[in-house]
Each structure stands twice: as C-alpha cells, then as structure tokens.
Structure 1
Amino acid sequence: MPDFPVPPSMSLVPSMKRKLPLNTISASIVAALLLLSAGLTAMTRQPGWVIGGVVLAVLVHMSLKMCNSWQRVLVLRAGKIQGLRGPGLFLIVPFLDQIDAVVDQRIRTVPVHTRQTLTRDTTPVDVDAVVFWMVHDPLRAITELDNYEGSVSMVALTTLREVVGSSDLATLLEDRRRIDGELRDLIESKTREWGVTVQAVEIRDVQLPDSLQDAMSRQAQAERERSARVTLASAEREVAHELAQAAKTYEAAPIALQILQINRIFEMNKNRGTTILMPTTMADAMTSATAFAAAMQTVQPEPGAPAATGEVSG
C-alpha cells in the first residue's frame, strides 16, 4: 500500500493558534505609567503610587491589544463568542475576555503530493500540485473546524486523487489548465462552507514510471523515424518525376545528353591525376558529339548567304 503523505501544515498544534505581534504602544504606555508612579513615589514618599502604577500598567497590558492589517482575532467572553477584533488596536476586559485564535487572511499555499495514483487507463503516476487559498470568513473557519489549514490540505489531497483517477494519462499531460480549473472548482465547493476560498490550483509535475517513460520515448522515436521516411519517400518521388521529365527532353535531343555526359566527365576530371574508365561505345558517342559541337561552332553561314545543306561527318 502506498504511504499517504502528511501535508506540512498538519501539525500537532493548530496553526491558527498564532501569536499577536509585539504591541509597542501598550509597552510604551506601561513604561510611562511605571516611570510616572516611580517619580510620584520619589516626590511624595508614598509607596501607594508605585502599587497603583503597577496595577494600572498590568491592566493596560492585559486589555490593550493590537493585530496586523491581515489578521483577525476571535474574542471569547466567559466561553461565549464575543466577536472578531482587528485590525489595529482593540480592548478586551481583563480576566473575563480571552483571545482564542488569530486568523491570517493572506493568500497561502499548500503543497499536495500523490504517490502511485492510478489514472483511468490504469497508469500509476506521481502528481505534485499547489493550492492557493485564503480565509474569507474567519468566524466560520474557527468555529466550524478544529484545524482549517489541515482540513484544506486533506480535502485538496483527496480531490486530487479523485481527479487523477477519473482522467486519462494523455489528459493529465496535455490539458493541465482544464484539470487545474476542475480541481479548483471541486476543492472550493467543499471548503466554501468553512469560510475558505480557493484562489487557484496548479499541477507542478506529473512523474511517470521509468518503464513507461522508456516506452513513450521509443514511441516518439518511432514516430520521428516514420515521419523522416515519409519525407524521404516524398522527396524521391519528386526527384523521380523531374528525372522522368528530363529523360523525355534528352530522348528528343540525344546530342544534348551526350554533351551533358562530357560535361559531367569534365567536372569529375578537375583534379589532375584522376583516371576514368568508361565503355568504348560511350567514348565513341562522346567523340561524335564533340565533333558535331565543334563543327557547329566553326561552320557559320555568311551574312546574306543562303544556309548550306549537307552532313558533317565525325
């Protein structure tokens, strides 16, 4: 059985039990009260100022709280929900109110990994995805779930397995955008009731078994070889068509074919010291073609004279 990965956000302590930022305003007021009480005590020689200053400083420290702009605080009064506080400064009743949870409303990410999940065409794959989500209703997220971050992670994991199991391997590899949209809609339909909004889901990687990768590589190589052979056959067909047209031309003008042969031999014999062997009949044909070409160049009719008729013998 494959091991189910534990999302990083699934910890023993719920991550919504966050601490409030350092309240420098409250600390400054407490320090000012202590200094004022100490000064009054030194001036009046009455210790009651120190006691009163310490008590007042403790009450200010316990009642004056602060949270950041992206945080919301759930306040309970005697165990009952008093409401959300923040952002900025807010007051609570000391010893009666308590801060139960601090919710971060920024967009967060949850990595989701599935191992050896079978697709619809029974192919085991490893899929890695990232879920972008945020809390749009902190009160519902805190009161309806014990650990909403862990719940989002588990819902994303199970939904990813469902989508992978209902999709073909080709769809996972070629149509990731549609799969991402389907994952986002399915996860959000389950988490919206908890006060959580899923912004986006992106599949980072789809890993295949080594044997399947080798088979796909061989298939791609065979496809490329088939395409190359088809291209070569098409080129040879075009060359054969052009050669057939050239053959018809040379059949109508045999002297042109012989001159072409002479030209080819001349091109081959550019490098001195090359020995070329050819049949005697071919050499005789080239000799007659050479003589005919020379006669056509030397015998030119005089201007205004009628063209001479006759035969030129080689």
Structure 2
Amino acid sequence: MNIWVLCIGFAVAVLAIFTVRIAAQWERIIILRFGSFHRVAGPGLYFTIPFVEHIALRADQRVMLTGFSAEETLTSDLVPVNVDAAVFWMVWDAEKACMEVENYYDAVSMAAQTALRDAIGRKSISDVTVHRDKLDQELRDKIEEKASTWGVSVISVEIRDIVIPKELQRDMAAAAKAEREKDARIVLAEVEKDVAAMLLEATEVYRKDEMAFELRSMHLLSEGVKESSGTLVIPSAYSEGFKREKPAKE
C-alpha cells in the first residue's frame, strides 16, 4: 500500500513539474497544441498539458533598447559617414511576434539598420548633421511600418553620434564661420541704414530750426568737455542767438 502511495505521489510531482508554470509580470507565453497556436498565457500561474502542449515563445513586453549603426555610408552628396543610433521598442502582440517572424529581436535590429542606411543615402551631409530630429522621426516611421506586422511597436529612435571625415569637418567649420560673418554684415548694414535715415530726418529738422541746431551743438560741446574733464567757456555773444525778439507793442 505504501509503495502505491509513493508511486502516485511521485507521478503527481512529476506531472506538476511539467504542468504548473509561472510567468513574470512582463512576460506573455505563446502555447501551441499539437503544433498549432492555442493561446497566450501569463502573467502569473498557468498550466500546460504534457506531450500535448508546449511553449513556443516567452515574449518580454518591457521596453527594449537596440543599438544599431551604419558605417562608411554615403550621403546623397557622396560623403562617407558613420552613424550610431538606438531604437526603443516593445512587443504589443505576443502572438504576432511568435507567428509572423522567426526572431523578432533580430528582425527589429536588421530593419533599423536598413532604414538608417536608406535614409542617409537620400540626404545630404548638412541634412544629416543639422536636422537630426527629422531624421529620428523618419527612421521611427520606417521601422514602425515593418515592425507593426510583427506585433512590435516602435517608441522612438535617437541618433547618438555622427562621425564625418576630419578634413570635411574643417571645411564645414570654415563654411559655418563664413555664414556667421555674412549674417553679422547683413545686420550691421541694416543698422547703418536705419542710422542714416534718422540722421537725414534730424538734418531736416535742424535745417528748419536754427535754434535746435545751436542747442544740439552746445550739447555736443558739453559732452566733449565732460569726457576730457575740461571747462567750457561760452562767450556772451553766443547766447544772444537764443534770444527771441519780442513782438512790438502797439
């Protein structure tokens, strides 16, 4: 009797080992029955039938990070660049991730690398280096277009580093400096134009009003004396010009 109890207990223990399973909070388990898709299990406790059901995939639904790069890739203006980037993605449909692609992790990595090379080949070196945000969005859309059929959602793509030849870096720095000098000259020319217009307006005022012109002259003399810490002596005859003639009484 004891032997039968031990045998039954041993059989139950073995059955429990192959039947009772636990999935983590972030896991989804793809279970096949006789080779065909049956259900998605998890998280928590789930059961499988030995020799009838088996686990095809344990899909991790946390946000994943995959780094990828494009080395010695030519831009549209034939400049070789090395670009490093990273894509953030997650599995939203575990069934598709199992049934539609052999290895969804490798597939995402390859799709990202292909999209990066294609995007660089259609852009100039200035577009690649200056408009990184647009390149990030373009890559995200391209990768999402392919990965969505595998049950994968692309959260974002970020360009980490762009390396261009050193001789081209010097040329780009010189071009940027020339562009800044050009902008500065344009601003200076606009300021001089405004100043000239104001001087022309002031000249017209002084031409019509001699007293205003004399007051301005005295102000300039006073400012010059202040800067040189000198003394300004004004002849009494000079002040007579400011006296206005009183109207004659009838």
Q: Same fold (TM over 0.5)?
A: yes
Is the aligned partner of 1:293 residue 2:239? yes
Matched, 1:142 2:98: yes
Distance 1:118 1:105 in 2: 36
Q: Deviations over 1:184-209 (max 9, x none)?
A: 4433443444x333334423335242
SS of the residue 1:161 aligns to: helix
Aligned to 1:40: none
Q: Distance in 2 between matches of 1:271 and 1:119?
A: 60
Provide the identity percentage.
31
Residue of structure 2 equivalent to 1:133 = 89
Q: Give distance in 1, aligned partners of 2:147 and 2:134.
A: 20
Which residue of structure 2 lines up, in the alignment, with residue 238 of structure 1?
A: 194
CA distance, structure 2, for counterparts of residue 186 and residue 133 of structure 1 = 13
Which of 59, 69, 91 in structure 2 is aligned with 1:113?
A: 69
- Of the three residues 185, 195, 200, the one matched with 1:229 is 185
Deviation at 1:227, TM superposition (A): 2.6
Structure 2: stretches of 5+ with no match in the other structure: none
Counting matched residue pairs gives 248
- Evaluate the alpha carbon distance shift between residue 251 and residue 48 of structure 1 in structure 2; reply closer, same or farther with a 3 A threshold: closer
Amino acid at match of 1:68: A
- The answer to whether the Cα contact below 8 Å between 1:173 and 1:206 also exists between their aligned partners in 2 is no
Correspondences of 1:49-198 after superposition (within 5 Å): 49-75=5-31, 80-81=35-36, 83-87=38-42, 88-94=44-50, 97-143=53-99, 145-173=101-129, 175-176=131-132, 178-193=134-149, 195-198=150-153
| Cα distance per residue 1:79-99 (max 9 Å; x no partner) | x34634512433333456543
* CA deviation string 1:177-231 (max 9, x = no partner): 55444434433443444x3333344233352424444433333332332232233
Q: Give distance in 2, aligned partners of 1:136 and 1:169.
A: 36
Hey, what's the Cα distance between the residues in 1 that align with 2:241 and 2:127?
76
The structure that is strand-richer by fraction is: 2
Aligned to 1:207: 162
- Is the radius of gyration larger for structure 1 or structure 2? 1
SS in 1 for 2:82: strand
Is the Cα contact below 8 Å between 2:115 and 2:139 reproduced in 1?
Answer: yes
Contact 2:40 2:95 in 1 (8 A): no
Taking the TM superposition and a 5 Å limit, the aligned residue runs for 1:16-27 are none
Q: Could you say if the C-alpha distance between residues 124 and 201 of structure 1 is closer, same or farther in structure 2, counting changes exceeding 3 Å?
A: farther
The DSSP-based 3-state class of the residue aligned with 2:196 is helix
TM-score (norm 1): 0.60
